[in-house]
Amino acid sequence: GQQLNQSPQSMFIQEGEDVSMNCTSSSIFNTWLWYKQDPGEGPVLLIALYKAGELTSNGRLTAQFGITRKDSFLNISASIPSDVGIYFCAGLMNTGFQKLVFGTGTRLLVSP
């Protein structure tokens, strides 16, 4: 089935560092979404991107919709311990029913 490739798979960083992760696909998407999943919880939407080239921020988070519409990037600046979790990208595919295709996830660990 369709799947988005995320990298890196995991990151272990020091508090205060900046973080970058990306998501790539062989297919074109019209919408890119970034979710965060806290341990033991369901994913929560962080940022939504609707146009190629769009750059959107949400506090310390910045995400970009790639110009080719086949990729997206998420940056977290000045990381803090509560940034720990799994970050998922998701692309919206229009197959009659608009299906969300999720990435494989990036696990982030932040050391105080």
Partner 1 sequence: NAGVTQTPKFRILKIGQSMTLQCTQDMNHNYMYWYRQDPGMGLKLIYYSVGAGITDKGEVPNGYNVSRSTTEDFPLRLELAAPSQTSVYFCASSYGDPGANVLTFGAGSRLTVL
Q: Work out whether 7 is an interface residue with partner 1 (CB under 8 A).
A: no
Sign of the Cα pseudo-torsion (15, 112, 13, 59, in order): negative
Phi, psi dihedrals of residue 76, rounded to the nearest 5°: -120, 125
Q: Contact, 105 vs 86, CB < 8 A?
A: yes
> Closest approach of Cβ 16 to partner 1, in Å?
28
Q: Work out whether 100 is an interface residue with partner 1 (CB under 8 A).
A: yes
Binding mask 16-45 for partner 1 (x = CB under 8 A): --------------xx--------xxxxxx
Binding mask 38-77 for partner 1 (x = CB under 8 A): --xxxxxx--x-----------------------------
Contacts of 23 (CB under 8 A, 6+ apart): 4, 5, 6, 32, 71, 72, 73, 74, 89, 91, 103
Binding stretches for partner 1 (CB under 8 A): 1-4, 9, 30-31, 40-45, 48, 88, 90, 92, 94, 97-105
